[in-house]
Structure 1
């Protein structure tokens, strides 16, 4: 399949781009503590440039040394001393053939460091930041607004001196400028509050100051949220008016996204949200403008991205996490090698939950090398070995591909369907990202010289077969219920629920952890179902879950019409239904089908023990090592295969 629209040359102001693909700003948290650029930062952006995108937008960069820095190891452009490092990075990216832009931002009330001072339009606080250190925002004074306007303009001038191709003002995602734009966070009564003209005044002043400071041939972008998705927040009608106003004041391109950190399901949309969630918004104002529009937000596949351009929905597409997952997204799409693209699964686990949210640099569930570019190469082994991989789930598939790339002779043993428990996602709209990962992992094994043996491997067979090493990737067993289930009950484990064999009628899902919640969503999208989740704890998702799932997944269950019964222990399951006991007494939930979603238990790994007893070189990975998520499967597979 060709994606011709994506690869037409484009133009932003006087700057020509080789295609319509933009690397969206993602915080890498790789800069030095003083905001200067590190070797890791340069390597990261150079690698992105090598991937073929037309424009690389760097991560949000603070503009002053007062209150604009938002996160650890954030780059700055607040001082003359920042120019040299940025210049180094710009030259490295230019050498790849890509253009590069700098995004300028003031953190506003979203100072993740939680340190004073936090300055915003008003004292309206984001509860997450307030909980970090008890600091609430201080409303910026008019004099401080003057200083902030000047800081943006001077930072833009420094960007030009560093030889960036354009500069972008971040006016979305809940940072300072959005704090002014949104009625949700702006209750000021002076010239910067109240009417739309007043709330947009600070942004217009910043734009005017930049235009007065840098030459007109230095393009200026503004990133906006089509809305912040707050009930009392930014209406799309005001965003349309704002974009017209920005064009009139000399802005060259609008970069459209949506949401903010308290509405993270829109800003960094997770797997349970739709793809391209903001398309409806930018399509409201693009016809009103003569300058181009960059569309952004979960445009994870070449098919979606190409359609955005081909249909005239936007002029450019911006991809963030998708290029963390695979920096070669653009080159592979252009060559039609779509199945080779490592798909972003929008889990927010590696990049956020285990990445920047912990104080680390950004990571990625499906790309263990992100922000460590060049440090973990896949090199051909000095000694070619015969390696057996036992298990065709995500860990087994990934390890088999890496082992093959290292020159080993690989046999993959899997008696069932390749993909393991992740095959539950195939055919499900809500799990389309995981389905894409399964398809990719299987494709990567199929296109290599890897023998797939459709059988269960035994220790005796492996020992007799003369293999040099064995990778055990057999997963972890499903936890069995500790309550009786009558034989006549229609019962299925959550991992075996498939879109190809849809359930009907009243379905009770027992277990409100991640497995139960995601299964309930999958069942809810099947027609003619009434879904109830029963959880013995007082709330859903009380285990070791990704925080974004904990915060937002219950809302999506509610929207899907899924009933939730927490604080309810299952006593038994009979043909009459599911008997539960709670503080409110005993109750019987009628059910046509009962789905148990009780998680997994640690694997016993008798196979690994037998092989070790026979003197074999054995490596246990994925959930066979310990029950975990996709992150654990991919990372243990990658790093183990590198050293065999």
Structure 2
């Protein structure tokens, strides 16, 4: 077979272990960590799903090596806790039986212990330890690790590595980046020690070297050790790339794979885990430079999901391995699709941070575009229905497409009708905003998958009651979505006004100065887009804050983009009238002011298309309503509801 991506698909030997391709599953924390910090069965299934999808390795994250000084609620591994070793053994088994190499990330958060705790009171009670004493920006005291404790932690790395090997893991990753403990020792910003672990670069690297020596002694020769480090800390006071090169050179003889990431968790979240506002592969340059100075294989990471880009990275020698985390949540089968030349069917990661936001707010793991994530034990396979039925899906947005795709895979005869000339629903408009283009691709790819599964798609077809009844379906899934809210504000129907969902059809009508009326997620994002185009932008919101509908990971980065884009923000301003000169608003004091702009974008939210739902509700024995036409929400809800509506038939 001739592979379209031969370098990406090529096996690689690291240590004494052979990996089936160059696409590695980067660490991502599990979905259910038990009260005893063992790997719950849902987490085992979570990791197994990525192994089934063809990744060369799947890395379990994070195994806290020394709970005495790092009491975070992450995975622990010991012989004293009943079920601890067994949980890791079953997880390694689940990964390995699909041909992937099981790996586990050995970690210590240092002064950031408790980062993932939802219980903030418990977080406050933890002791945070670091290379040096001090006070964190949030006011928490940091205690300096004594040399005795340092040696305990060094030994603990080896002990956990040995137990991981005993459990069946065939590689370990030592986490030395992102602001965690090893990185804190490496960093001149965090490390102010004056003993043998501080000061010169050689001294600051000493802790990492001792940890790696401890791990090597525990696992023996030939057992792959992957070391994850930040190529640069990317903030003032931290080490830069030149020093990152020197760190790599000092450590390379002790490791088998050098994994180059970027930044620190606390001072660059949106760069370490690149947001939609950054280019894909934004951190590859760090691995590329470090690879020039070391002989050990180098892995790169950071918003990588495009096979052509990843192939070029390997082919040009920028890195030997590409690692993905979020991309493999969105589509666990991405590696298999690459290997079988089916890249046009890859479901793209939206970089929306749902996966990380849910972890922080509900202690669960979810994915906007993959309804299985966090729910793998409900069934990772779509099983055929006992009886084949005819299913009519009304609406080709994300919920309707997912419903049609799932129903077709169950063996049903599925017809999907949509009033537009292409599928995607509300996602169609995202093709006009470059940093949201993956959302447009999502609709396109789901449509392609649905057709491949046997769905008959009828475009330019609006379904009324008579049409639906004529179809004679056994089940109808209503997914007609939402429509824009356009209040009866004088002038809001003017020629200079564009509703945000129509922008993709009217891009050439937008003038050089723009007023975006509505500061929710959609309004804020399109304002950023206009600012990037060089337009003068004003963003008007009647409430006191912008984008309250954005999740807790995306929102801070969104607000940063608004700030640095030079957008004039008017919170507490209510639109009263629109004219050719702009929008007349009333401020919090009741004073009217004109916010000037040649073009006005109406981004005042969406409302469910309930009239269509009511018309179609009784057209078949079984009717389900999914997505925005049920209740205006988000893509995550639409995809999940559509998937399960199809499973219920």
State whether TM-score is above 0.5. yes
Structure 1 residues 509 and 612 mapped into 2: Cα distance closer, same or farther (>3 Å)? closer
- What secondary structure sits across from 1:174 in the alignment? coil
Which of 221, 224, 240 is the aligned partner of 2:229? 224
Provide the alpha-carbon RMSD of the alignment.
2.4
Query: d(CA) in 2 for partners of 1:614 and 1:25?
Result: 48
Which of 131, 156, 159 is the aligned partner of 1:121? 131
Query: Shift in Å at residue 568 of structure 1?
Result: 2.6
The 5-angstrom pairing of residues 75-154 of structure 1 reads 75-79=75-79, 82-110=84-112, 111=114, 112-113=116-117, 114=123, 115-123=125-133, 136-154=141-159
1:198 and 2:212 are equivalent in the alignment: no
Q: What does residue 272 of structure 1 align with?
A: 277
CA contact (8 A) 1:422 1:434 kept: yes
- Spell out, residue by residue over 1:122-145, the C-alpha distance to the aligned partner (whole angstroms, 9 max, x if none): 455666xx5xxx854333222211
1:357 and 2:360 are equivalent in the alignment: yes
Query: Shift in Å at residue 60 of structure 1?
Result: 1.6
Which of 257, 263, 284 is the aligned partner of 1:253? 257
- Spell out, residue by residue over 1:73-99, the C-alpha distance to the aligned partner (whole angstroms, 9 max, x if none): x32234476444323332333322222
Query: d(CA) in 2 for partners of 1:156 and 1:184?
Result: 29
1:9 and 2:15 are equivalent in the alignment: no
Gaps (5+ residues) in structure 2?
A: 118-122
Structure 1 residues 88 and 391 mapped into 2: Cα distance closer, same or farther (>3 Å)? closer
The 5-angstrom pairing of residues 22-41 of structure 1 reads 22-41=24-43
Query: d(CA) in 1 for partners of 2:279 and 2:94?
Result: 36
Q: What does residue 120 of structure 2 align with?
A: none
CA contact (8 A) 1:486 1:575 kept: no
CA contact (8 A) 2:260 2:301 kept: yes
- What secondary structure sits across from 1:532 in the alignment? strand
Which of 367, 373, 383 is the aligned partner of 1:370? 373
The total of aligned residue pairs comes to: 631
Out of 458-467 and 317-326, give the one that drifted further: 458-467
Q: What does residue 185 of structure 1 align with?
A: 190
TM-score, normalization by structure 2: 0.91
1:405 and 2:412 are equivalent in the alignment: no
TM-score, normalization by structure 1: 0.92
- What secondary structure sits across from 2:111 in the alignment? coil
Structure 1 residues 611 and 535 mapped into 2: Cα distance closer, same or farther (>3 Å)? closer
CA contact (8 A) 1:124 1:185 kept: no
- What secondary structure sits across from 1:261 in the alignment? coil
- Spell out, residue by residue over 1:419-447, the C-alpha distance to the aligned partner (whole angstroms, 9 max, x if none): 11111122532112212212211212332
CA contact (8 A) 2:392 2:416 kept: yes
The 5-angstrom pairing of residues 530-609 of structure 1 reads 530-542=536-548, 544-582=549-587, 586-603=592-609, 605-609=610-614
1:468 and 2:474 are equivalent in the alignment: yes
Which of 236, 241, 254 is the aligned partner of 2:241? 236
Query: d(CA) in 2 for partners of 1:433 and 1:598?
Result: 23
- What secondary structure sits across from 1:60 in the alignment? strand
Gaps (5+ residues) in structure 1?
A: none
Query: d(CA) in 2 for partners of 1:467 and 1:241?
Result: 67
Query: Shift in Å at residue 491 of structure 1?
Result: 0.9
Q: What does residue 390 of structure 1 align with?
A: 394
Query: Shift in Å at residue 566 of structure 1?
Result: 2.5
The 5-angstrom pairing of residues 58-69 of structure 1 reads 58-69=60-71
Query: Shift in Å at residue 315 of structure 1?
Result: 0.4
Which of 513, 517, 540 is the aligned partner of 1:510? 517
Out of 508-517 and 424-433, give the one that drifted further: 424-433
Query: Shift in Å at residue 586 of structure 1?
Result: 4.3
Query: d(CA) in 2 for partners of 1:144 and 1:618?
Result: 63
- What secondary structure sits across from 1:223 in the alignment? strand
Query: Shift in Å at residue 52 of structure 1?
Result: 1.6
- Spell out, residue by residue over 1:462-501, the C-alpha distance to the aligned partner (whole angstroms, 9 max, x if none): 1233222221111122111353226654111111222883
CA contact (8 A) 2:184 2:190 kept: yes
Out of 620-629 and 477-486, give the one that drifted further: 477-486
Query: d(CA) in 2 for partners of 1:500 and 1:331?
Result: 39
CA contact (8 A) 2:31 2:42 kept: no
CA contact (8 A) 1:368 1:635 kept: yes
